[in-house]
Amino acid sequence: MKDLIEQARQARENAHAPFSNFKVGAALLTENEKIITGCNIENASYGLTMCAERTAIFKAISEGETKFTRLAIVADTENLTPPCGACRQIIWEFCGDVEIILSNLSSKTETFQMSELLPKAFDAGFLES
């Protein structure tokens, strides 16, 4: 778990956040113990900004990874920063009920299951008749 948090912390350093200065890093652990990282990437239009969690997940999917066990998220905040709503939906759809580790630069951590952060989640199961 410490290595995953450290990888997320390092990914945070690559964040492109010239507007908010709010840098976030994420590290996703695959079922076969591979770590895929991501950072937030802002855009002047804000709406096209990509969060660290989605960057890591989309990067993993693009590299052929489809099964995940943990996701660490690191931000420089006293109160640990959970995933936004859009990220929660993407995490649920692509990672399922994975372990989510929130951390900050002071090494404070909290761990949740995704189902705690997104109760009664909407997914493809509701589209089946």
Question: Which active-site residues does the annotation give?
Answer: 53
Tokens 């990437």: give the residue.
41
**Residue listed under structure tokens 């969060």:** 51
Task: Give me the residues paired with residue 110 across strands.
Answer: 102
Rounded distance, CA 31 to CA 99, Å?
A: 12
Tokens at residue 33, please? 């113990």
Please measure the distance between the N-terminal and C-terminal CA atoms of the chain and give it in whole angstroms.
Answer: 40
